[in-house]
Amino acid sequence: VSTQSTGTNLEPHLPEWCCSSVFETRPEMANPASDDITGQLVLRHAFGSRSSMPLASLTERVPLPSPVWFVDDTTTILYSVGRRVVVHNLDTNTMRFLPENERLDCVIALAVSPNHKYAAVCERVNPEPGAAKAVPFTQVAVYNLHAPTLKRRSVLQYSEISSKDWKGVCFSADNHFIAVQSGAPDWLIVIWNWGSPTPKVVATSSGRIDAKGFEVSRLSFAPFDNISTVLVASGPRTLQFYKHTEGTLKAFSANIGKRDMPDITDHAYLNDEVMVVSTTGGEVWVLLAFDLKDVIQCEFGGGAATSISGLANGFIVGGENGFLSVYENHERKELFQCSHTFRSSVHPEAAIRGLATLPRFEDSVACSFDNDQLAIFPLGRMDYLDNDGDHFNYVSSGMHCGAITGMDVALNKPLVITCGVDHTIRAWNYTTMTCELTKTFPNDDLLSLACHPDGFQIAVGFRDKLRLMQLTIDDMTQMNEFSVKGCRQCRFSVGGHLIAAVNGPKILIYETFALRNCNPAPILILDGHSHLVTHISFQRGDHYLASCSIDGTVYQWDLRTKQRAAENVEKKVKCECVIFSELESTMIACGSAKSAKDGPRGNPNSTSTSKAQGTIRELYTDAHGEKSGALKSELKLKSGSGNMPQSLCLTKSGRLLFVGMDDGSVRCFSYPQTGPHAGEFDETSAHEGQVTAMAVSANDCYLISASDDGSIFVYEIVQIESGQRMPSRKPTADQFVDMSLISRSSVDEQMSIMGDLQEQIKEISTSTEYKVHMKEQYYTELLKKQQVDQDTLRESEQQRYETLKRMKEKQELEAAEAIQSMEEAHMKAAEELEALYERKLAMHAARYEEMRAARDDVQCQFEEKIEVMQREHSVMMERQHYAAETSLQEKARAMEELQARYDKDMERDVVFLSETQEVAEIEISKIMDEGKKQLAQQKQENLDLKTEAALLRKNFDKYVKELENKDKEIRKGQEKTKELEASITKHKKEISKLGVDVKEREEQIGEREKRISDLKNKARELEKFKFVLDYRNEELKKLIEPKNDELRELKGQIEELDDELQNDSKNKLTLQQMLDNKTEKLDAQAKELSKQQRKTQDKERFITLFIRDLHKLVTEAEPVHWKEGLRKLHHTYVTSKKEILKQMEEWTGQSDEIVSEFTRQREYMERTLDTLRKKSDKTDVRTKEDLQRKVLENSVLIQEINDIRRDKKTLTLQLQELESRMAYQTQKANRQADPSRAPSTRPPPTRGSDVSAGSGASNNYRSAGRATPFDAREKKKTPYKGSARQWDETSTDRARMAEMAIRMDENNREIEMQKLEIRRLREQVRMLLRKGSLETSTPHDEDAEEEHMGQVRGKEFAATLPNLPASPTGARGAMRPGSQP
């Protein structure tokens, strides 16, 4: 909602007419300052749509391209109403409006992006008040549909386009580009890259699109073109393609052969290559890769094809006369075929101007008719629909087309009644936002409408008469009619017992509750105006009536004296509306003031719109005595269009005044116009035409406005008092009368239908019971048979199972023998491969030694170079050291000066720090207290979550049991399948038996064929005999024919007589019905007459008693007794009735208070229940999310523990192997250093001995000085990498599991260590045996043999280790990873 005046600073917000020279308030009549109450209007709903846009006026209109679009799914549509664009959710019947543009003139085109996230709106915008060019221009506004407030994303403008009417807008397939088609005289195409931070123009068309003089009405990007370079423009005799190259659009045409280009109405792409085009000749052209492939003639009765849209397997076409056809191609043939054709029977003369579909949801299609109707067609159910009915689901049950001539609101029911130039009366419910009732009068013009306060009757002004109609549950029936021709204004009184109707300058007053269809005469005629009366309104007490006319006269009529109580005449003002203000005892009138140069005085209709000025006047009523009719205050608006008030409306409290303007906007004033907010207003623009009528709901919650453009808007009234929004209670259905009228004839029909249905139900129930009994017997017999069959099948399957079991055991034995033989062969092959790889390792070891020697040479060379460079570096360092000392001395002096300054600054900072520390300590204490509270809350939440986790474990156990039961059921199903296979074999045997029977029957057939041949011979003889008999029959027919002719003539005479009899019987029935109706009417009138007679008799009896008592009093001789007699008469005939009436009023008022208090308490309890229900739902969702999160954390922790265990095992194994290697190498080095020393028989050190020798503390690997990942984690007191929570927060169960896992790891580790020690002992024994054999054979080669054996042992030992860095011996350089000894 845009507000023009808020706050105390009025200068930048007030319009021009609010200055002191124009806003006149007479001081002697001004009221004291009222409460500071202002108001705003918020749009809530709209009834109506736009299928066309205006050119110069509302009467001159052109079709709107693509007026309806789907958003997200098929339950939300986007369309325009008046000047606003609506996002309407059809499921919840709620609306969201795009933000208002204060200078918006009208909406020209709409488009929704392919991802359904953005909407582009072409807007015709009025220039700013101080702009150099006072010419409207056009822009494209892009809105974010997924934002909560539907905020505007960007605005696109192009100054080189001189046209103010753009023909269309479209998005590219990748949603990054927007193309716009301008109108005459430019006819340009402009493409923006709006997705960038600063939108810029990418390309424009190089020449005029209408080079041949034809227009363009549709524009779209090719959907398959991901780089957005191909555009399609179509229109009357135009189909042009454009390609974007280097900032320009190059045109190329489609290949249509020798055909002439038709008038194209719409086009659509079906896939990457196929495009369909609709024409005014009722044809659909199919183009394949820019070539005309086929021409399809639509079955629209000669009408044009006005719109088209693509589907997955075809397309859908809308045409004139309400036709809708679906073409499909399921077999993927070249031609499309019409599968279904439907027609709108409600609007058979309307054309479908727009179609909207969604590729993902093809179950519905949105249709826009040229009579401003919107409908959803159920495309997914079209195979089940007949082609005769109307299957369109109209949005809001239909809308008005054209101007709305009358509108009124009921008080006791939530109804808004409207009538328009489309010959329809509609009843809208403003609590459910739906149309409840519609009545069409195709041959009558509806000029005005008024609604009774109870909502059961309406008065409608027709051309010939004023009719009083009754609203029933499904129809509008006529109750009475009044002889008032051309009634353009009518109004019910506040009590509803009077009807005021305008007939030119006269005002006729009728009684509402007169006899039915009696055409009563008016009870009062108010004849005082000399020109046409434009508006009338009743005062709240129904004692006064206000009226105004086009000649500037405003009258207040006293209905009791039948005279004018106040009058005001302003010849220069054309009054449009007048209302009463009960709060100030004034009348408020609005209109347009005319200047003296506008025309002659005798012609009040001669006005000049350029110099006309809107006025709102406040006039005194007769309650002010001598001031009656005088001007209290006057508001003069700016001159020109958009500032002429057309209608007025006050809230029931009388604190807000609403003014409907001629440009479709509604202004909200605070009333009375005194105090700080005098002259200020809040303006909301929604309608496209002038506001014809406004009304406020019963509790001042909603304002409803109607306009010439056929739209109805519902606003929420927001009252603001002293800058704060006042609470308002939205109306609900419970606050109104929950009753509807229904005619007696419809009740009788429904009762008869119910009786027939009950009889049918009884018959059906008896028949179904019998059928059920018979079926039970049949199925019991079937069950018995099947049980016998299943028993036999089970026995056979049991035998088969035993045989298969024996076969399986044999196969398992054979397979085991085969596997054993394969393993033996595999072991042999593995040994051969191992020998081969040992030879290769020896070769690579020798090569490694050569490379090692070369590396030592290179290292010596580099060491010599390093010594030379070190000497040079020492010389350079001495020089730099001397320079650095000199500079240090200079800097030391400067430092002493800076130190003195620093000491002074520090003294100042110490004082400041002491002050800040005190403040910080106070804040820290507060934060600590809050943190402690939060910790306590989190601990409580953790306890709750643990209890919920226990419950989840129980549920998990239940689900496990259910899964086991399902597995059992699956096994049972498998057993059943086996049984069925057995039955199949049985049936095959039966088939073989039946084959034998067939052969026997074939033999019987051969014998019968012989008999047939004999019978044929007999038939030939009978045919000869038949020929003779036929000849005799023909002779007899010739004799019988004249008699048949006579019989035919007699039959014709009998049929004529029957027709006459039927006509006579029909006439008799109609006469009988007429007689019955008249007798019923006579009976009703007789009853009414008897009632009236009783009433008259009672009154006469009352009068006779009064006359008798009065006669007694008059005959009294003494005048002293007259006074007492008069008192008795007054007491008996006057006061007794009044006391009874007062008691009734007091009793009824008390009951109303009790009922209202009960309803208020009930609503309060319902609201509290709703809030508690929502809170419980939120807590359930939160607990579920927390449980899921905890389950994920537990899984992550378990995975981390497993990874840590694996890493631990590998590291411990590597560490132990490295320690054993080190011990072995040291032993070998000692042996090489002392060759004379005899080899010791001591075995190589084990892991436990090596570790104890190195540390002397314990046999565990922890004592070797290396910590495990668990030890590092315990020292850091932080979670391991990737963990989700601290280790201190783990539960006791998890700690126990960790301890068990550690014990298992230690046991496994000891087993591995024992295995490795056994392997080493074996290797040492082999080495000693080999060494003893070598010493006996060749003692001189002992050292060489030791080196060779050391290399071999190193190779065998390295094969058992994982990939480790190379050892100094060189044996690890070529070891094969993963090889076994």
Q: DSSP of 474-532, one letter per residue?
A: S-EEEEEEE--TT---EEE-SSSSEEEEEETTEEEEEESS--TT--PPPSEEEE--SS-
- Where do the DSSP E strands lie in 194-322? 200-205, 218-221, 230-235, 238-245, 248-253, 264-269, 274-279, 283-288, 291-297, 305-310, 314-319
C-alpha–C-alpha distance, residues 670 and 679, integer Å: 8
Q: Which pLDDT band, with edges at 50, 70 and 90, does 206 fall under?
A: low
Q: Name, of 797-811, 891-905, 1204-1218, 1333-1347, the range with top average pLDDT.
A: 797-811
pLDDT at 891: 79
pLDDT over 70 (residue 604): no
Other CB atoms within 10 A of residue 582 CB: 13
Amino acid at 814: E
Strand order in the sheet with 84-89: 69-71, 73-81, 84-89, 94-97
Average pLDDT over residues 198-207: 78
Q: Which of 341-350, 861-870, 908-917, 1198-1207 has the lowest mean pLDDT?
A: 908-917
Residue with tokens 């004291």: 32
Phi first, then psi: give them for residue 334, nearest 5 degrees. -75, -35
Nearest alpha-carbon partner for 459 in 504, 508, 505:
508
Other beta carbons within 10 Å of 361? 14
Task: Calculate mean pLDDT across residues 555-568.
Answer: 92
Per-residue pLDDT at 1145:
52
pLDDT band at residue 1139 using 50, 70 and 90 as cut-offs = low
Query: Which of helix, strand or coil describes residue 49?
Result: coil
**In this structure, what DSSP letter does residue 1168 have?**
H
pLDDT at 1021: 79
Q: What is the pLDDT of residue 1352?
A: 45
CB count, 10 Å around CB of 525?
A: 12
Q: Which helix (H) or strand (E) holds 1343?
A: helix 1342-1359
pLDDT at 1212: 81
Answer whether 753's CB lies under 8 Å from 743's CB: no
pTM listed for this prediction: 0.57
Asked whether the predicted pLDDT for residue 1275 surpasses 70, the reply is no
Give the pLDDT mean for 665-670. 92
| CA-to-CA dists, residue 1131 to 162, 321, 1135, angstroms | 88, 76, 5
Percent above pLDDT 70 for the chain: 83
Residue 789: alpha-carbon gap to chain centroid: 58
Contact 270, 263 (CB under 8 A): no
Average confidence (pLDDT) over 1268-1280: 40
| Separation between Cα atoms, residue 761 and residue 753, nearest integer Å | 12
DSSP codes of every residue in 57-68? SSSSEEEPSS--
In this predicted structure, what is the pLDDT of residue 208? 54
Residue 50 has pLDDT above 60, yes or no: yes
Q: How confident is the model at residue 162 (pLDDT cuts 50, 70, 90)?
A: low
How much is the pLDDT for 1100? Answer: 83
Residue 4 has pLDDT above 50, yes or no: no
Encoding tokens for residue 1288? Answer: 């201190």
Question: pLDDT, tens digit, for every residue of 974-1021?
Answer: 888 888 888 888 888 888 788 787 888 788 787 877 888 788 878 877
Segment 1354-1367 shows an average pLDDT of 41
**Cβ proximity of 617 and 589 under 8 Å:** yes
Q: How high is the pLDDT of residue 1365? A: 39
Give strand ranges (E) for 680-782. Answer: 681-685, 691-696, 702-707, 712-721, 724-725
pLDDT in tens, 76-94: 999 999 999 999 999 999 9
Report pLDDT for 207: 52
Where does the pLDDT of residue 244 fall: very low under 50, low under 70, confident under 90, or very high at 90 and above? Answer: confident
Mean pLDDT computed over 833-846: 81
For 879-937, how does the pLDDT look when each residue is reduced to its tens digit (9 = 90+)? 777 877 887 888 778 788 888 887 777 777 777 777 777 777 787 777 887 877 888 78
**Alpha-carbon span 1221 to 1216, nearest angstrom:** 9
pLDDT grade for 1120, boundaries at 50, 70 and 90: confident
Q: What is the DSSP string of 554-573?
A: EEEEETTTTEEEEEEE-TTE
In this prediction, residue 1154 carries a pLDDT of: 63
β-bridge mates for residue 274, sequence order: 288
User: Above pLDDT 90, what percent of the chain?
Assistant: 25
Q: Is the pLDDT confidence value at 8 over 50? A: no
The closest alpha carbon to 486, from 468, 467, 512, 504, belongs to 504
Q: Which helix (H) or strand (E) holds 666?
A: strand 665-670
- 1147 vs 158: which has the higher pLDDT: 158
Classified as helix, coil or strand, 300 is coil
> What is the overall mean pLDDT for the chain?
79
Greater model confidence, 208 or 216: 216
Binning pLDDT at 50, 70 and 90, where does residue 1117 land?
Answer: low
Q: Which of 693-697, 1051-1055, 1114-1118 has the lowest mean pLDDT?
A: 1114-1118
| pLDDT tens for each residue of 463-504 | 999 999 999 988 899 888 999 999 999 999 999 999 999 999
